[in-house]
Amino acid sequence: MNLFIYILKRLLLLIPLLFGVTLVVFILTRVVIAGNPIDQIVPPMASQEMRDQLAKRYGLTDPILVQYGKYMLNLVRGDLGVSFRSGLPVTQEIIKFFPATFELTTYAMLLALLVGIPLGVASAVWRDTWIDHVSRFLSVSGISMPVFWFSLLLIYFFFFKLHIAPAPLGRMNPRISTPDFVTGWLTIDALVSGNFRAFRSAVANLTLPTIALAYGAMAPIARMARSGMVDVLSTDYIRTARAQGLRRRTVIFKYALKNALLPVVTMTAIVYGFLLGGSVLVENIFAWPGLGRYAYDAIASADYTAIQGFVLYATTMYILLFLITDLLYKFLNPRIEF
Amino acid sequence: MASTLGQKDTYMPKRPTTWQRFKRTMRKNPVTALGLFIVASLIFIAIFAPWLAPYDPYATDPRISLEPPSRAHPFGTDTFGSDVLSRVIYGARLDLMIAFGAVGIALVVGCLLGAIAGYWEGMLAEIIMRIVELLQAFPAFILALAIAGALGASFRNLIIAIAMTNIPIYAHLMRISILSNKQHDYSMAAVSLGASPMRVLFKHLLPNSLAPIFIQSTLQPGYAILTAAGLSFIGLGVKIPEPEWGLMVAMGSPRIISGDWWVSLFPGLFIIIAVMGFNLIGDGLQDIFDPQRR
């Protein structure tokens, strides 16, 4: 019951935070904004009359407080406004582009965890040996490397030089028919419909952008796993376990690992935020039809409702994930009481 | 090391000079030394760019467009026929200016906010810390993207956008530092001697709270360079033909599929070297000041 109240409290605390976030985004896209958004949609020769009409239609002539009120009312109803560029509701567009990004970032996250955790643990267990040095070098280079540059490098080697990877042009070979929409994840949809050619193509196209995103995300995970493991290995209960003559493997996997990985849980939300930011860069390079590319196109054409929609969506996602990992951390760590 | 001073017969060991202590610390921490060396070299390159660069970074020549690396152009030429090496050298200037500018602004603003929030606990502190937390609710790159997008792409706005994402960390560090230092006897003593709050804050508390700020400040410029390069890559930073590393990678990116690797490769390598340099210093300092962390 206590737990239930705790979760409820945390959810209630989200409301002022999300409210603040919408306020910041509103100020940025309606008050601070350089230039008049109307300039972006009318032809340069448009008459003043036409401009006024459009400004009125988009509610840009209202007092700022009225604009804010309308914006909030619409937001509560899930309405992010109409894209200046396409004339379609931004909410609808985000729903359309969401699965491609969700699929890419999730695979990247999984890959980062699968590589980062063993790397960090190995680094801690064989501390100050060559394994540690190599793994630390890998993680320093991972955080130091611009993700867009790494993407280009991957394309150069695996597409241009070695001809192993497909051209960086979207989620699938366009000559293969796309599987019917089930989840929006092409890999899953293809498997469900038994279309193995589509599955292979989807996996092939996913590989490079996933690696590109995962390399940067792997670094903080490996670091966290390493420092968590180092801390745990120096505790009394591990020393006791060793002193009792337990096998090294048992000590590490049965006793140390669980506690060492706790901090990694909290790290995943931050890493996911990094992946959302990185997707803007990576999707643009791989012509990936997801939200990152949507945001990039919106920036290029100064489509402010779309940018605003993307920022709100990404931040809400980030905040929710933060909450989930935080709760998960508390569930997994019996030392914390509610 | 004492032998270098030529004082063999003295029994009293001389107190090592700052330079000797520095040398000893660096010898014990080769990683930090490497980081310092990288950053110092980049600053050198940035300052002496006009003498080091073999060509004018803005000069274009369509006749030598996209030439692979050669003796005349060690890093090749880009689409406009500009010398990539010269542009990379001038890029050190621009990228370091953005990084130090953004981190400098964030440092001053963040520390002031944190100091105020830590010293005068109350309504004002609440408001400041809520705003800081609000900034942290956004994924960093996406906040920078939103700010740069709203302000419009320019050198100045790029610095502002990156500074905004760096303010929270300084505000938090400063606030925590001030809160704990406030409890110390020396601060109580100053207060009881009748020092004004301003004097206590700026003369006593601030100088004693700078160590964690200093360590953080060696890490932040690296991230600032990455963010700046990313924003320029998507057109929200400086504009063509400015020699900014991220923008140069972007200019080369359409040519990668046709195999012209050098336009993007070299500026990207410099980004990595620069960011790594700052990271190595920061990591090393953390180890030196807090050996427990290792």
Residues of chain A numbered 152-171 and touching chain B (CB < 8 Å): 152-153, 155-156, 159-161, 167-168
Q: What is the pLDDT of residues B156-188, one digit of tens each?
A: 999 999 999 999 999 999 999 888 888 888 888
Residue B89, pLDDT > 90, answer yes
Residue A121 in this model has a pLDDT that exceeds 70: yes
A254 to chain B, minimum CA–CA distance in Å? 23
Q: How far is B256 from chain A (nearest CA, A)?
A: 6
A279 pLDDT exceeds 50? yes
Helix (H, G, I), strand (E, B) or coil at B214: helix
Instruction: Tell which residue, A131, A149, A315, has the closest CA to residue A222.
Output: A131
Interface test mutation site (partner A, options B29, B136, B145, B219, max chain A beta carbons within 10 A): B145
Q: Which is higher by pLDDT, A3 or B250?
A: B250
For position B161, what pLDDT does the model report? Answer: 95
Contact: A147, B150; criterion CB under 8 Å:
no
* Amino acid A337: pLDDT: 62
> CB-based contact (8 Å) between A316 and chain B?
no
Distance CA A251, CA A238 (A): 7
pLDDT digits (tens, 9 = 90+) for A98-108: 999 999 999 99
On whether the CB atoms of residues A177 and A198 are closer than 8 A, the answer is yes
Q: Which residue of B has its CA nearest to A37?
A: B150
**Would you say residue B2 has pLDDT above 50?**
no
pTM of the model: 0.89
Mean pLDDT of A79-98: 88
Q: Is A143 exposed, middle or buried (0-12, 13-18, 19+ CB in 10 A)?
A: buried
At residue B294 the predicted structure's pLDDT band, cuts being 50, 70 and 90, is: very low
> Is A148 at the interface with chain B, CB within 8 A?
yes
A12 is written with which tokens?
């209630």
Q: Which of A269-278, B25-34, B203-212, B282-291 has the lowest mean pLDDT?
A: B282-291
- Chain A residues touching residue B249 (CB < 8 angstroms): 146, 148-149, 152
**Which of the four pLDDT bands, split at 50, 70 and 90, describes residue B104?**
very high
- Please indicate whether, in this complex, the C-beta atoms of A146 and B222 are within 8 angstroms of each other: no
Contact of A135 with A268, CB cutoff 8 Å: no
The average pLDDT across B270-291 equals: 85
| Interface with A, mutate which of B141, B147, B280, B287 (most A CBs under 10 A) | B141
What's the gap between Cα A86 and its chain centre? Answer: 25
Tell me the average pLDDT across A39-55: 73
Task: Name the residue in chain B with its Cα closest to that of A287.
Answer: B254
Cβ distance A297 to A309 under 8 Å? no
Q: What is the mean pLDDT of residues B23-38?
A: 86
- Whether B89 and B45 have beta carbons less than 8 Å apart is answered as yes
Q: State whether B257 and A20 contact (CB < 8 Å).
A: no
CB A285 to CB B250 under 8 A? no
Q: What is the dihedral of CA A319, A286, A178, A164, to 10 degrees?
A: -130
Structure tokens at A265: 């849980």
Average pLDDT of A226-237? Answer: 89
Residue A36 pLDDT:
63
pLDDT at residue B129 above 60? Answer: yes
Residues of A in contact with B246 (CB under 8 A): 146, 148
pLDDT of residue A35: 59
Nearest residue, CB atoms, A155 vs list B133, B257, B293: B257
Search chain B and give the residue with CA nearest A154: B256
Task: Tell which residue, A291, A299, A293, A272, has the closest CA to residue A91.
Answer: A291
What number is the average pLDDT over the span A319-323? 90
SS (H, E, C) A190-238: HHHCCCHHHHHHHHHHHHHHHHHHHHHHHHHHHHHHHHHHHHHHCCHHH
Decide: residue A162, CB within 10 A, 0-12 exposed, 13-18 middle, 19+ buried: exposed
Q: Which residues of B touch A299 (CB under 8 A)?
A: 145, 149, 234-236
DSSP string for B122-176: THHHHHHHHHHHHHHTS-HHHHHHHHHHHH-SSHHHHHHHHHHHHHHHHHHHHHH
Q: Round to whole Å and give the CA distance between B102 and A63.
A: 34
Contact B275 A24 (CB under 8 A): no
Calpha distance A188→A194 (Å, rounded): 10
Structure tokens at B265: 């490769």
Averaged over A259-287, what is the pLDDT? 90
A:B CB pairs within 8 Å:
140
For residue A250, give how far its alpha carbon lies from the nearest alpha carbon of chain B (Å). 24
Q: What is the dihedral of CA A241, A244, A247, A252, to 10 degrees?
A: 10
Note the pLDDT of residue B9. 57
Provide mean pLDDT across the span A141-155: 93
Mark yes or no for CB contact B264/A21 under 8 Å. no
**Which residues in chain B are closer than 8 Å to A296, comparing Cβ atoms?**
234
Q: Given an 8 Å threshold on Cβ–Cβ distance, is A147 in contact with B140?
A: no
Other Cβ atoms within 10 Å of A140 Cβ, number: 20
Which value does ipTM take for this structure? 0.89
Name the token pair of A181.
């929409």
pLDDT over 50 at B23, yes or no: yes
Q: Is the pLDDT of residue B291 over 70?
A: no
Residue A245: what pLDDT? 87
The pLDDT value given to residue B13? 67
What digits encode the pLDDT tens for the residues B225-276?
999 999 999 989 898 889 999 999 999 998 888 888 999 999 999 999 999 9
| Average pLDDT score, chain B | 87
Percent of chain B with pLDDT over 70: 94
Note whether B249 contacts A148, CB cutoff 8 Å: yes
Burial B15-37 (b: 16+ CB within 10 A, else e): eeeeeeeeeeebeebebbbbbbe
Average pLDDT, chain A: 87
The CA radius of gyration of chain B, in Å to the nearest whole number, is 23
Q: Which residues of A touch B140 (CB under 8 A)?
A: 273-274, 277
Query: Cα separation of B260 and B75, whole Å?
Result: 11
Q: Is A288 on the interface with B (CB under 8 A)?
A: no
Q: A35 touching B, CB under 8 A?
A: yes
Instruction: Name which of A146, A161, A314 is nearest B268 (Cβ-Cβ).
Output: A146
10 Å Cβ neighbour count for B170? Answer: 26
**Shortest Cα–Cα distance, B98 to chain A (Å):** 16
